[in-house]
Amino acid sequence: MFKMCFILLIHFLLNSAFATQIKPNFSKNEFDELSQNAEKIIRFHCGSCHTPNLKTANPKALKVFNFADKPWYQKMTIKQLQRSAKMLQDKQNLTEAELQENFFGRKEVPRRPSHFEVSIYQKFVQEVQEKKLNPFRF
């Protein structure tokens, strides 16, 4: 009898833990909106290397992520996602010369990412990480 109660208790605890684990932080619509905003941000600040039809496209960068892929972040590992967030954050500290160099000949006015942009992208990275770790959440 004790063994049966123990098994039922373990079963209940595992199911409870799984149920709380797969609860999404964002609904599908909220995630889609977050994803679109993150893409606009990362495309502006990193698009010159990650857009295949540009002269400035970097073959190594395109292997990490490519804006021609849909969704563009799908092939990225968790480590690559985290690194992309760190690189975006680090762009806040670029000098004027480095900023100009980063935008080589693009039409947009070079600017550093805002704290707001970085925080949106970090939320996006966190959600994609969760999605990769718990694919049944969404």
* Position 6 in a domain: no
Task: For the chain, 138 residues long, give each residue's pLDDT as a single digit of tens.
Answer: 656 655 555 555 555 444 444 455 678 889 999 999 999 999 999 998 999 999 889 999 999 999 999 999 999 999 999 999 999 999 999 888 888 777 766 677 678 999 999 999 999 999 999 988 887 765
Structural domain that includes position 60: 27-133
Within-domain flag for 18: no
pLDDT for 26 equals 74
In the prediction, which pLDDT does 97 show? 84
7 part of a folded domain: no
Q: Quote the pLDDT of residue 57.
A: 92
In a domain, 118, yes or no: yes
Q: What per-residue confidence (pLDDT) applies to 116?
A: 97
- Please tell me the total count of domains within the chain: 1
The answer to whether residue 12 sits within a structural domain is no
Task: Say if residues 134 and 22 touch (Cβ distance below 8 Å).
Answer: yes
> CA 30 to CA 7: how far, in whole Å?
39
CA angle 94, 64, 55 (to 5 degrees): 70
Residue 115 in any domain: the answer is yes
**Within a domain: residue 19?**
no
Residue 45 lies in a domain: yes
Judge contact between 116 and 1, C-beta under 8 A. Answer: no
- pLDDT, position 88: 96
